[in-house]
Every structure is written in C-alpha cells, then in structure tokens.
C-alpha cells in the first residue's frame, strides 16, 4: 500500500471518529498528528479526598491501568482532564474502546456552518469594569512585593434557547484550529464551581493552542506559549502586530518567566534538555503567540507523561510566578473557581507515553449553556485595558466556533 493511500485512509478514519463523537459517552482528542476517540468507561481513576486531589494521581492511574490489564482489558490507557488545582477531582477513566487515526483534514471549499445559537443571552463574570479593577490590584501587588506575574481570567455565561450541538461545535473548533489540540471530555454531573446549583451532564470542550507535555519513549517535548497579541483582519496590520509582539519587552519578559519555570520543572527528569535561546511566533485564527519548543531525553523510563505534566502544572502561563503567591492572588481577585479551565487534558498509557494539552480556549457546556473562559498574563508593564482586550480576543475562538464571532462583544 502506498504512503498516499495510507494517508487518505487515515484522514478518512479521522473524519469518521469526529462524526462518531457523542457527548456523554466519548472522549475526543485531536492533535496536529493524531486523532483519538475513546468510548464508554471500563474503570475510573479514584479520587482521594483532601485539599490536593492531584497528590499521588500518577500512582492511582498506574494502579487502575494494572488492574484493567489483569482483568484482560486490552486498552491500557487513561484519558480525561486534570483541574487547575486540587480542590476539584481529576476526571480520568480507562475507556471501553479506543480508536486512533491520523490528523484531521478539512476541505477548505466546504461551506461554513450556520450559527449554532440563533437566540442567546450572554453575561460576563466578572463584568469588564471589575476585571479592570482586578488587573490594577494585581499590578499593585507586584509593585509592593515579590510577585512577578499573575494570570487573571474572565468567564462568559452563554445561555441558548435551543440545545447546543456539541458534535458540530467540536467539528467547528477542529476545522478552525488545525494546528492545535481539539478536545471534548465528559465531566461528572454536579455544580458549576461556586454556584451550588446542579447542572446535570457537562462537557469540557475546546481547542487549545498549547502543548503542556508529550512523552514518547524517552523523548519529551513541551511547547509553552506566553506573550500574546490579537490578530487583525488587515494583512499589513496583522504582520505589524506580530512584529511588535516579537520585540515587546513586556511580552518577552512574560515569556522568559514561563520558559525558566518549565525548564526548571523538567530538568530533574531529563539527562538532556534543549531550551531555545529565544521564542518564535505561532498563530491561531484569533491570536499571535510567543512560543518555545523544549525537547529532552528522560533519565528514567518509569517517569510517565502524567508525572511530567503534574510536575510542570500549573505553569506561569496559566497561573503566574512565584506559583504560590500567584495562586493566592487569583483566589482573592477572581470571582469564580476555575474548575478544569487552565488544567490539562489528554491521555497516558501503561508504558508512560502520552500527550497533555493546556486546557485553554475552552468552555464547560451542558444542553443549553456554555461557560467560556479566557485569561491574560499580568506582569509589570501591563495595562488593565490591554489585558481586557486580550481576553476579549481569546474568547473569539469559542464564539466563532459557535458562529457568533461577528458583532459579539464579550
């Protein structure tokens, strides 16, 4: 069989997996090189109570995978989502079935999908004015103490009159973000963090541009992003924005803080680690980002992709630096709990291989509601107005996938 024929078969299978995704019974994960669809639940990784549910999580995953293999289950992989912090349980399962294919490929000539919500209401939390105040408060903390960076987030609550077609939303996200990590994860029924009201079945859905870490054998790759600028529909202005980002002292500083922390987290596990001397530019349909691809070779083959992910998580790209001070500031300033937003989503197999993306450009969804998230990194030199504008640009990934990009003001 020729390579071309095999590639076409893999493309056809990837498209089929996307069509077969069903909210409530599936895990979907598409990277630039691979598409994965897992269905059903053979076993669930147990949650340990306490304030840090992630302590011992790799060991619990390994134990569940070993037990599944002993029960003659031939799919030794755990899939799912890890939250921002230990106050929320990780949602990781061993599926009943698992199918893999090559990357998703879309016909650029195919017609655009109509809006997925003809009638809707939208409520920002916090309101823009309150977010401006929060950024100002964070900048004051940096002026008065050792805090170097804090990432502050906003959410949008989108309520629709008709049910949301999550399969079509996932398709739209994958089509618009072919170089990212498109995902959909079933979440347990429960409350929106901090609300106290039951919401029934929920789905974590999104298209992240950022790889937290991947492991294949002894090879490790991390690709942190930090420092961002909104894209412009005007090609000349768009390139000007990219050029300004690549030389911006504020954004280069923000990026350096993240790269230093990621390298420091990975170094104890690696016998070699290649850290670029400076960032490169990458783009999505809505944003420019500063990017650094870090590669290493593990010292010990027993170190799993999940162990590496948790050693890095949360990076300064989603929390801040120093981590404890940034986390404390987020708790005081943000008026909601993040839940799985700015956590990590992906998979880990019994050999330790796996891939984990940072859970950004995403929403928690149920039948009639989307709770969208976006954040911005605050460092010395930030202004409240520019950080608010950055969050508005980042919301557009989900809003455009809903067909609501034009004329919508987050």
Active site residues: 149, 210
What one-character-per-residue DSSP string does 289-333 give? EEE--EEEEES-TT--HHHHHHHHPSPTTTSEESHHHHHHHHHHH
Per DSSP, what are the bridge partners of residue 349? 77
3-state secondary structure 286-301: CEEEEECCEEEEECCC
Q: Give start and end residues of each alpha helix (H) in 34-184.
A: 57-70, 128-144, 166-176
Tell how far CA 211 is from the center of its chain: 8
DSSP 102: S
Per DSSP, what are the bridge partners of residue 295? 221, 274
What one-character-per-residue DSSP string does 135-150 give? HHHHHHHHHHSS--EE
- Rounded to whole angstroms, how far apart are CA atoms 216 and 84? 25
Cβ-based neighbour number of residue 139 at 10 Å: 20
Q: Cα angle vertex 38, ends 283, 211, to 5°?
A: 25
Q: Give start and end residues of each alpha helix (H) in 102-234.
A: 128-144, 166-176
Per DSSP, what are the bridge partners of residue 282? 289
| Torsion sign over Cα 56, 59, 64, 65 | positive
| Torsion sign over Cα 308, 84, 104, 255 | negative
DSSP 268: G
- Rounded to whole angstroms, how far apart are CA atoms 236 and 120? 35
DSSP 336: S
Residues with Cβ < 8 Å from 236, sequence gap 6 or more?
none
**Tokens linked to 204:** 């974590």
- Rounded to whole angstroms, how far apart are CA atoms 218 and 352? 10
């Amino acid at each position: 069989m020729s390579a071309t024929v095999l590639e076409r078969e893999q493309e056809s299978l990837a498209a089929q997996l996307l069509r077969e995704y069903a909210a409530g019974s599936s895990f979907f994960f598409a990277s630039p090189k691979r598409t994965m669809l897992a269905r059903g639940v053979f076993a669930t990784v147990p949650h340990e109570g306490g304030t840090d549910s992630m302590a011992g999580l790799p060991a619990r995953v390994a134990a569940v995978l070993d037990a599944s293999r002993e029960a003659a289950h031939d799919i030794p992989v755990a899939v799912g989502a890890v939250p921002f912090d230990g106050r929320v349980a990780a949602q990781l399962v061993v599926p009943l079935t698992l199918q893999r294919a090559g990357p998703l490929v879309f016909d650029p000539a195919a017609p655009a999908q109509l809006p997925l919500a003809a009638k809707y209401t939208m409520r920002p939390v916090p309101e823009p004015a309150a977010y401006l105040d929060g950024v100002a408060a964070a900048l004051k903390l940096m002026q008065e103490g050792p805090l170097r960076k804090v990432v502050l987030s906003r959410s949008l609550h989108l309520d629709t009159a008709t049910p949301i077609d999550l399969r079509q939303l996932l398709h739209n996200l994958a089509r618009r973000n072919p170089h990212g990590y498109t995902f959909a994860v079933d979440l347990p029924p429960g409350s929106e963090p901090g609300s106290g009201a039951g919401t029934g079945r929920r789905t974590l859905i999104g298209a992240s541009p950022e790889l937290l870490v991947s492991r294949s054998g002894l090879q490790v790759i991390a690709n942190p992003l930090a420092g961002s600028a909104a894209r412009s529909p005007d090609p000349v202005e768009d390139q000007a924005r990219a050029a300004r980002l690549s030389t911006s002292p504020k954004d280069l500083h923000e990026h350096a803080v993240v790269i230093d922390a990621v390298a420091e987290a990975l170094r104890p596990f690696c016998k070699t680690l290649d850290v670029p001397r400076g960032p490169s530019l990458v783009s999505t349909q809505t944003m420019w980002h500063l990017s650094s691809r870090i590669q290493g070779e593990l010292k010990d083959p027993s170190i799993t992709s999940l162990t590496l992910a948790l050693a890095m998580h949360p990076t300064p790209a989603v929390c801040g630096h120093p981590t404890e001070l940034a986390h404390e500031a987020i708790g005081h300033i943000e008026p909601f709990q993040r839940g799985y937003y700015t956590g990590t989503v992906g998979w880990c197999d019994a050999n330790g291989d796996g891939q984990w993306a940072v859970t950004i450009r995403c929403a928690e969804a149920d039948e009639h509601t989307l709770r969208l998230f976006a954040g911005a990194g605050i460092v010395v030199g930030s202004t409240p107005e520019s950080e608010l504008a950055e969050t508005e640009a980042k919301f557009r990934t989900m809003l455009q996938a809903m067909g609501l990009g034009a004329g919508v003001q987050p």
